[in-house]
Amino acid sequence: MSNFTRALHAGDIAFHLHSYTNARAHEEAGPLAIERGEGVFVYDTDGRRYIEAMAGLWSVALGFDEPRLVEAAIEQMRKLPFYHTFTHKTHQPAIELAEKLISLAPVPMSKVHFTNSGSEANDTVVKMVRYYNNARDLPRKKKIISRIGAYHGVTVAAASLTGLPNNHRAFDLPLPNILHTLCPHYYRFAEAGETETAFIDRLAREFEALIEREGPDTVAAFIGEPVMAAGGVIVPPTGYWSRIQEICRRYDILLVADEVVCGFGRTGSMFGCTTFGIEPDIMVLSKQLSSSYQPLAAVLINDKVYQQVASQSAAIGTFGHGFTASGHPVATAVALENIRLIEERGLVENAKRMGKRLLSGLSRYADHSLVGEIRGIGFIAAVELVADKSTKARFDPAGRVGAYFNACCQSHGMIVRNIGDSIAFCPPLIAKEGHVDQILDCFSKALEDTDRWTRS
């Protein structure tokens, strides 16, 4: 390690409290400091190259050095580095991006509200749902149903929607009135001998039973990621979403699609809603919206929701919500260029093709004794490692083998994410055949290393 890197790491350990990191372990292990990017690769401060098989945080669609995004940011910085969207004010990039998102939406949507992060967007959804039903004079209809294993962010309300124990434990969450129904992971949660159809039936029955138990007049919304990402890349069985949707409609429950990871091509269509035939009332977008070159998220609402929100704001005198940087001109200008590039370069189609190559490459390891399930759709995938293939028994403690596998990948020059003992892949949408093959090669080496380690 160079002296420069050593000093940098010491500074990091001294001053930085990291996200999603065991702070005590970090005092010992220190960081991996990334210095620069080039296409699907990033380089650390010692010049080591890594293929970024997670697109950063499921987000850098265009890779790590796209000059047109840089130019779009510089141009907007020069012209108007900041203006806001409060009290009837606006600017061209926010106007154009709102129009573009409405034109792309898979179902008719009416308005866009911008935030800086996916968490803020989902918090906004929680408030919007309350506002909507207060406007309809349904003050009891406020509960929101999410799912076990869901990820919707970390602010107080968004973390409550998230259905992962580590986002609740010691934070005194979830908030009241946020409930979680079953996770649509067939491999993990199907009962012995249960077919996929029977599994979906059971989940639909459970969802409906929860609504009935709580009282349909108290349930306002259901939120779900078309494909659960941070919960382990969970692709629901075919037919799951149509059942959920039908129940939401029957009980006058708003359907919220959290497209923060799925949006802009990840599942092989522009939106996860298209891939799964979901017709949401509210859609949440972020991440690949700007390739994370700028912090940005958007909440799209349909006209049914907008009309109530608008009337309520008129009754109160204002829609009392919005962030200083909502619709920030630099972020919205970058997002517009980002979407233009995704369209120009046919990256949704590319994601579909590269995803097929990745999944078929991974499926070569289906018989390996450590491999429990290989799952994915479009250009997002995961391999779940198990202690016993025949019983699907997990490793004990959970996550230790996954973390080892992750470290092996890093030593072979690849960044992945272990979600417990599931290894997730979500490469930039610009990846080419050679990059996918490199990912598969690193995976194979890490699998060999891990196999040796678990046997020793």
Quote the DSSP letter at residue 131: H
Q: Rounded to the nearest whole angstrom, what is the least distance from the CB of residue 428 to ligand PMP in the complex?
A: 16
| Rounded distance between C-alpha atoms, residue 38 and residue 49, angstroms | 9
Q: Rounded to the nearest whole angstrom, what is the least distance from the CB of residue 67 to ligand PMP in the complex?
A: 25
The single residue among 118, 378, 402, 428 that binds ligand PMP, judged by CB under 6 A, is: 118
| Rounded distance between C-alpha atoms, residue 170 and residue 155, angstroms | 14
Q: Determine if the peptide bond prior to 174 is cis (ω within 30°).
A: yes
Of 286 and 350, CB closest to ligand PMP: 286
Residue of closest CB approach to ligand PMP: 118
The single residue among 258, 281, 384, 421 that binds ligand PMP, judged by CB under 6 A, is: 258
Instruction: Lay out the site mask for ligand PMP across 57-96 (x = CB under 6 A, - = otherwise).
Output: x---------------------------------------
Of 260 and 347, CB closest to ligand PMP: 260
- Asked whether position 267 contacts ligand PMP by CB under 6 A, the answer is no
The residue type of 106 is: P
* 3-state SS, residue 306: helix
The single residue among 151, 186, 404, 443 that binds ligand PMP, judged by CB under 6 A, is: 151
Phi, psi of 317 (to 5 degrees): 110, -15
The single residue among 119, 146, 275, 422 that binds ligand PMP, judged by CB under 6 A, is: 119
- Asked if residue 208 lies in contact with residue 129, where contact means CB atoms within 8 angstroms, the answer is no
The single residue among 133, 269, 286, 418 that binds ligand PMP, judged by CB under 6 A, is: 286
Q: Rounded to the nearest whole angstrom, what is the least distance from the CB of residue 259 to ligand PMP in the complex?
A: 8
Which structure tokens are listed for 108?
A: 């008719």
List 388's β-bridge partners, or say none.
393
Give the contacts of 65 (CB within 8 A, at least 6 positions apart).
36, 37, 38, 39
What's the CA dihedral at 225, 344, 70, 62 to 10 degrees? 40
Task: Give the range of 128-136, 148-156, 190-198, 373-381 binding ligand PMP by CB under 6 A.
Answer: 148-156
The single residue among 117, 160, 269, 291 that binds ligand PMP, judged by CB under 6 A, is: 117
Q: Characterize 197-218 residue by residue with b for buried, 16 or more Cβ atoms within 10 angstroms of its Cβ, and e for exposed.
A: eebbeebbeebbebbeeeeeee
- Asked whether position 225 contacts ligand PMP by CB under 6 A, the answer is yes
Of 143 and 417, CB closest to ligand PMP: 417
Segment 230 to 249, residues that bind ligand PMP, using CB under 6 A: 230
The single residue among 73, 94, 248, 261 that binds ligand PMP, judged by CB under 6 A, is: 261
- Asked whether position 229 contacts ligand PMP by CB under 6 A, the answer is yes
3-state helix, strand, coil in the chain (%, to 5): 45, 15, 40
Pairing of strands 41-44, 49-52: antiparallel
> How many of the chain's residues bind ligand PMP (CB under 6 A)?
15
Quote the DSSP letter at residue 395: P
- Asked if residue 293 lies in contact with residue 69, where contact means CB atoms within 8 angstroms, the answer is yes
- Asked whether position 422 contacts ligand PMP by CB under 6 A, the answer is no
Task: Give the range of 102-110, 150-158, 199-207, 235-243 binding ligand PMP by CB under 6 A.
Answer: 150-158
Q: Rounded to the nearest whole angstrom, what is the least distance from the CB of residue 153 to ligand PMP in the complex?
A: 3
The single residue among 56, 63, 153, 378 that binds ligand PMP, judged by CB under 6 A, is: 153
**19, 22, 46, 180, 381 from 15: Cα distances, Å:** 13, 15, 21, 37, 35
- Asked whether position 123 contacts ligand PMP by CB under 6 A, the answer is no
Which structure tokens are listed for 437?
A: 């093959």
Note the residues at the interface with ligand PMP (CB under 6 A). Answer: 57, 117-119, 122, 151-153, 225, 229-230, 258, 260-261, 286
